[in-house]
Structure 1
Amino acid sequence: MKTISTTSNKTGIINVLAKPSTKLLTTWYAEQVVKGNIIASEKVILACKRHLNDLEKAGTEEFPFIFDEELGHRPIQFIEKYCKPSKGNFKQLILQAWQHFILGSLFGWIHKDSGLRRFKEGLIFVGRKNGKTTLISGVSLYGVSKDGENGADIPLLANSMKQARILFDEAKAMIKSSPKLRKRFRPLRDAIHFDKTFSKIEPQASDSEKLDGLNTHIGVFDEIHEYKDYKLINVIKNSRQSRDQPLLIYITTAGYQLDGPLVNYYEQGHDTLNGLIIDERTFYYLAELDDEKEFDQPEMWVKANPNMGVSIKLADMIEDWDKAKRTPQERNDFITKRFNLFVNSSEQAFLDFNTIKKNNKERHEEDFFKVPCIGGYDLSDSEDFTSACLEFPILETGEVFVISHSWVPEKKVLLENEKIDYRGMEKDGLLTIVKSEYINKELIYDWFVEKSQLFQIELITYDPAKAFGLNEALKNYGFQTQIVRQGHLTLGPAVDDVKDRFLDGNIIFNNNRLFRWYVNNVKMVEDRNRNKLPTKQGRYRKIDGFAAFLNAHTEVMKKFVQPAGNGDISFVSINQLLRGVIN
């Protein structure tokens, strides 16, 4: 097997890592990654194993897909023959082995009988400066001209028109720099036409007026880490129904929108590659560092940056990291964009993404019928979110089980200025959209009364602000209530205890995405006495569900403090057990 070393810029060629045979490079890359000859992230290794395993069962009754090397190579051949990056002094674009694996997989896997593409969607998740724009611009030009489709629309999609035009302008620049492409394509200000197949490429954003008229053949979503909701994605998915083999490509780095579509798709990719769910129609390439220890191991950075040595110079990246890691905000941005890991945008964030994700256990509510629990609620403003919860201490394990619910007025939902999936969360039973302009306190009262028929509510905790009437009604019904003063003396110990339990993975909330959103929105700020207290990260980053939970936890954490046989106090906490605090 012949290896070709990377050439210098003097030759004007972006070269490939190792090239035994152009058509075989997709499978060759998978083999080399699995053997450990090419350093890759754990999830990329799993993607490569998936490809090799699928080859073994290809064409069987249980697995009706086959891999056509010739078909998979066509977009690669087109890009290398006709496309040239607009930036840099390069005479030719030769795709890297990892890019062969991505395009070869997306276009080469087909159904054995129909010959139509296997993959309907693909998530390409890599760090910055890895040639995403150049690659996907070439794919869009191939899609309208050589993919065997007439009337093919290829929208280049982003959260803003400015971002969408970056891809579009790169595709136009490729046409301008290639005499053969100039003869066949008709680039205009807002569209690139390929008249032979009546097809076109257009930049589109979430606020574009022409979205409903699309007939999407290949849709390219750029930087979906910025997307707060599924509005644009859903429009495009609904526009592909008349196509025989539509393909949606999401190409992005990590980001700070930890409750948006990207995190959901990323977690689905994790579960698919690990065999936890079956999804034969979505391709995943998830390039990232696997451990924080690798932050200071430059030889491992290629895991998130497979184009290392080509569009990225390792020496420059080392220099940038040495500078960025001294400033918290620059450090977070570098970890997110260059190491391709999700981190919270606030340097004082309460919890990071990986810690929250550890708390993914689930329990049936029925397990807690007639079990003692503590309630909590947070009223906020009547025109905004209101939340309530029940928290159950599980003394044997140090875990707590949380049932959380929220209410929001329909007026707020109709504004749609916060890009929150209210309707979807209501459908999932996580919140109630109230058909009025404000939240009537009787709704929270009714919720606690209803839950008291199932669970043993020992106490209901609350922030006294705006709560007088509701608290009196709850007491009149027979509930015991407890004020939680909103200061460090009361909330500080509860915050510390909650954080410990999150770090141990001991908060069970049944993956309630609204509750997870609340937790993710919390940051810590100092009061006048330099005590840290929780607050929200921004105007639209609500924490009402966390506040209700924290109120309840001020009392729940006391349940884990039990007198030992000699009268001493022992703290039943997994974190403390690990530290050897309990004698």
Structure 2
Amino acid sequence: MIQNKYVDEYIKLWKTGKIELNKERIMLICYLEKYILSRDDLYFDEEMHETYISFTEKWYFPLEPFQKFFTAFVFLLYKEDDAIFYEQFLLLMARGAGKNGLISSLSHFFISPLHGIDRYNVSIVANNEKQAKTSFKEIYDTIGSKEVLEDMFYRTKVEIMSYDTKSIVQFHTSNAGTKDGLRDGCVIYDEIHSYATFDTVNVFSSGLGKVPNSREFFIGTDGYVRDGFLDKTKERALAILEGRELDDPLFPFICKIDDRSEADQPDKWGKANPMFEGELSIYAKGLLRKIKTQHRQLKTNPSSRMEFMTKRMNFPEVDLEKSVATWEEIWKTGYETGPNEVKQVLRKIPDLEHRQCIGGLDYARIKDFAAVGLLFKVGEDYIWKTHSFVRKGFLDSVKLEAPILDWEEKGLLTIVEGPVIEIHHIVNWFIVMREQYGLTKIVADTFRLDLVKAALEAEGFEIEYIRNPKAIHSLLAPRVETIFAKHNLIFGDNPLMRWYTNNVYVKTKPDGNKEYLKKDEFKRKTDGFQAFIHALWRADELLELEVDFYLDAISF
């Protein structure tokens, strides 16, 4: 057994009912007690940890119990060689919980002679320069306000260096091109909710390992980018907390409310923001008053609820007046449980061989994306099998916040050359699908009418056109909402289709009719969803008599 007084004290606060923790932190304590604190090959470097606490409380701020608990594991080492046990740390909390302040003190300590590792460089990375400079500026200002620190550290507007260890702190934007080759000892990734892909982490992590005890910190509050870096990291964290990945070197500290109803219960807000645990500091009291004011204003300004839930409660919630479905409903097109639930089991797509289906096509913008698909109905479930074509020239000119190359590798899309997406790509896909399934009819809008009609009819397909696609959106909206809510729609393991769907903006017109538009005209594509809508327009009529498809093939 290994012990640390700050770890023990924090666990005791919870067990004695003095603080209330969310599900993920309860799971963390159980995981630690079962798999980590029971080991005899590890030890807490208590001397180094106490030195860090003294450094922080002298130059920055008093540390809260949860911060001392968290940082204890930053200094958890192997007995054999004094190497760190946890190499990565996930710090996911509500806005105002002091993430950047904690990172400022850690970064400053790491480059100091108190840490004692020469050239232990620290890179602070964020999506924009203002956020990347938040902790950097705090360190810069702290040094400038204390003469003794000015004698120990050299500072400019772009870097801070320890005279003794020659260790440097720099800030970077997440653009991989700004990486200037530091041999980092530590990388801090801020605002990780905005990372659509792993590209930034892959680039900056490649410089680690050249100095002892390299660490990475992933910090932030949840956001609106789904199926990106943060969602994948939360999946990874759950696997650790469940005991399924015991060799993963990530320490996951996740604070959030457990249920949306807790957003209306201030005594539960400590689950999302641990600053509100136990006796409140002066800072926490002021912050609590501010959040209570914001909460009261939700009655007269309900449009701000989504921001309040996401940033103050760390519990993302979509505005169903403007979105097709909740993220949990979109997620359940591929998994049996939602993204915030513990187990995620892939929904199995039933055998569709030779089943009747209807084709859907969105070929409106031939210079960027085109989407094709087949819609099946099995019992109450709709199954959507889809593929996309993306023009390389478009990808070269517009930086999409999406892992396009990963999706190509999964076979979900094809990147094509040329000034436009040629119609033969579309036709060939439907021909291949016809060989496997009972495909005879394809529904499309009237864009590129002559081009599409001639090419597909020449191959024997029956084409039905929707002359006013937006007119059918309002008619289909109740059915779309129902099949998402009842989990009667299956995409399978298709992050591209989830991306398309999450990008849809539902516009309610003055007459009450709804239209499915894009949340961003250029960077958030919806082609796959529009192709699905086209197929759904005729699905019930054409697929309800599926038995006839089989009977017609039988010679009596």
* Both proteins in one fold, TM over 0.5: yes
Contact 2:125 2:132 in 1 (8 A): yes
After superposition, the Cα gap between the structure-2 partners of 1:72 and 1:500, relative to the gap in structure 1 and judged at 3 Å, is farther
**Residues 210 and 472 of structure 1: is their aligned pair in 2 closer, same or farther, counting only changes over 3 Å?**
closer
The aligned counterpart of 1:556 is 539
1:312 aligned partner, one-letter code: A
Cα distance change of structure 1 residues 48 and 390 upon mapping to structure 2, 3 Å threshold: same
Partner Cα separation in structure 1 for residue 438 and residue 10 of structure 2: 58
CA contact (8 A) 1:253 1:337 kept: yes
- Separation in 1 of the partners of 2:307 and 2:349? 39
Q: Does 1:118 align with 2:100?
A: no
2:158 aligned partner: 190
Matches of 1:435 and 1:409, distance apart in 2: 6
TM-score with structure 2 setting the length: 0.87
Provide Cα deviations, 1:455-484, integer angstroms capped at 9, x if missing partner: 232432211211433233323323333223
Residue 320 (structure 1) aligned to one of 288, 294, 301: 294
Contact 2:360–2:373 (CA<8 Å) still a contact in 1? yes
> CA 1:346 to 1:491, structure 2 compared with 1: closer, same or farther past 3 Å?
closer
Is the Cα–Cα contact under 8 Å of residues 321 and 506 in structure 2 kept in the other structure?
A: no
Q: Which moved more, 1:501-510 or 1:249-258?
A: 501-510
Equivalent position of 1:253 in the other structure:
221
Displacement, 1:434? 0.5
1:345–1:143 distance in 2 versus 1, CA, 3 Å: farther
Q: Which AA in structure 2 matches 1:287?
A: C
Aligned residue number for residue 352 of structure 1: 326
Distance 1:279 1:394, change over 3 A: farther
Aligned residue for 1:43? 24
Alignment partner of 1:423 is 2:395: no
Q: Deviations over 1:156-201 (max 9, x none)?
A: 1111112111110111222234454333222222111012222100
Distance 1:161 1:532, change over 3 A: same
Which residue of the partner structure matches residue 80 of structure 1? 56
SS in 1 for 2:33: helix
**8 Å Cα contact 2:45/2:75 also seen in 1:** no
Name which of 29, 41, 46 aligns with 1:70.
Answer: 46
Partner of 1:128: 95
In structure 1, which of residues 167, 170, 175 is the aligned counterpart of residue 143 of structure 2?
175
Q: Whole-Å Cα distance in 1 between the matches of residues 418 and 11 of structure 2? A: 56
- 1:87 maps to what in 2? none
Q: Secondary structure at the match of 2:161?
A: strand
Contact 1:55 1:67 in 2 (8 A): no
Specify which of 361, 381, 389 is matched with residue 377 of structure 1: 361
Q: How far, CA to CA, are the matches of 1:509 and 1:229 in structure 2?
A: 21
Q: Which amino acid aligns with 1:68?
A: F
Q: Measure the CA separation in 2 of the matches of 1:489 and 1:419.
A: 30
What letter matches 2:437 in structure 1?
A: F
- Note the alpha carbon deviations across 1:392-428, whole angstroms, 9 max, x for none: 2121xx2222222111111111224333322222112
- Give the Å deviation of 1:81: 4.3
Matched, 1:269 2:237: yes
Measured after TM superposition, the shift of residue 125 of structure 1 is 0.7
Query: Conserved in 2, the CA contact under 8 Å of 1:76 and 1:100?
Result: no
**Of residues 356, 374, 379 in structure 2, which corresponds to 1:390?**
374
Q: Which structure 2 residues correspond to residues 320-339 of structure 1 after superposition, within 5 A?
A: 320-339=294-313
Q: Is the 8 A contact 1:212 1:235 kept in 2?
A: no
Residue 139 of structure 1 aligns to which amino acid in structure 2?
L
Does the Cα contact within 8 Å between 2:10 and 2:69 map onto a contact in 1? yes
| Cα distance in 2, alignment partners of residues 96 and 390 from structure 1 | 55
Pick closer, same or farther for the CA change 1:516–1:271 going to 2, 3 Å. Answer: farther
CA distance in structure 1 between the aligned counterparts of 2:533 and 2:270, rounded to whole angstroms = 41
Counterpart position of 1:16: none
What SS is found at the alignment partner of 1:312? helix
Figure out how many residues of one structure are paired with residues of the other and give that number. 526
- In structure 1, what is the Cα distance between the partners aligned to 2:377 and 2:15? 44
CA distance in 2: counterparts of 1:405 and 1:208, whole angstroms: 30
- Deviating more after overlay: 126-135 vs 31-40: 31-40
- Corresponding residue number in structure 2 for 1:443: 425
The alignment partner of 2:436 has SS state of: coil
1:130-529 matched pairs, under 5 angstroms? 130-145=97-112, 146-207=114-175, 210-275=178-243, 280-308=248-276, 309-310=280-281, 311-313=283-285, 314-344=288-318, 348-361=322-335, 362-363=346-347, 367-395=351-379, 398-487=380-469, 490-527=472-509, 529=511
| Alpha-carbon distance change, 366 to 318 in structure 1, aligned in 2, over 3 angstroms | closer
Q: Which runs of 5+ in 2 are unaligned?
A: 336-345, 547-556
Residues 355 and 505 in structure 1, CA contact (< 8 A), matched pair in contact too: yes
One-letter amino acid of the structure 1 residue matched with residue 103 of structure 2: I
Q: Give the C-alpha shift of residue 383 in structure 1.
A: 0.8
Post-superposition shift, 1:256? 2.0
1:381 counterpart letter in structure 2: R
Specify the code of the residue in structure 1 equivalent to 2:211: R
Point out the more displaced range, 517-526 or 448-457: 448-457
The code of the aligned residue for 1:126 comes to M
State the AA in 1 paired with 2:36: L
What is residue 338 of structure 2 aligned with on the other side?
Answer: none
Asked if 1 retains the 8 angstrom alpha-carbon contact of 2:445 and 2:469, the reply is: no
Task: Give the structure 1 partner of residue 554 of structure 2.
Answer: none
Deviation, 1:127, is 0.8
**Offset of residue 306 of structure 1:** 0.5
Give the conservation status (yes or no) of the 8 Å contact 2:360–2:534.
Answer: yes
For residues 190 and 306 of structure 2, the distance between their equivalents in structure 1, rounded to whole angstroms, comes to 21
Contact 2:256/2:271 (<8 A) preserved: yes
Asked if the contact 1:227/1:261 (under 8 Å) is kept, the reply is yes
Query: In structure 2, do the counterparts of structure 1 residues 455 and 332 end up closer, same or farther at CA, with 3 Å as the change threshold?
Result: same
Cα distance, 1:35 vs. partner? 6.0
- 1:374 offset after TM fit, Å? 2.1
CA contact (8 A) 1:82 1:178 kept: no
1:345 offset after TM fit, Å?
Answer: 7.2
The DSSP-based 3-state class of the residue aligned with 1:27 is helix
Separation in 2 of the partners of 1:75 and 1:264?
A: 35
Q: Which amino acid aligns with 2:395?
A: V
**1:71 and 1:429 mapped to 2: Cα distance?**
52
Task: Give secondary structure in 1 for the equivalent of 2:313.
Answer: coil
- Distance in 1 of aligned mates of 2:177 and 2:431: 48
Does the Cα contact within 8 Å between 2:320 and 2:326 map onto a contact in 1?
no
Letter in 1 for 2:539: V
Q: Percent identity?
A: 26
State how 1:556-575 maps to structure 2 within 5 Å. Answer: 556-558=539-541
In 1, distance between residues paired with 2:178 and 2:294?
A: 41
Cα distance 1:169–1:517, how it changes in 2: closer, same or farther (>3 A)? same
Cα separation, 1, equivalents of 2:299 and 2:73: 37
- Whichever residue aligns with residue 96 of structure 2, its letter is K
- Asked if the contact 2:370–2:388 (Cα under 8 Å) also holds between the matched residues in 1, the reply is yes
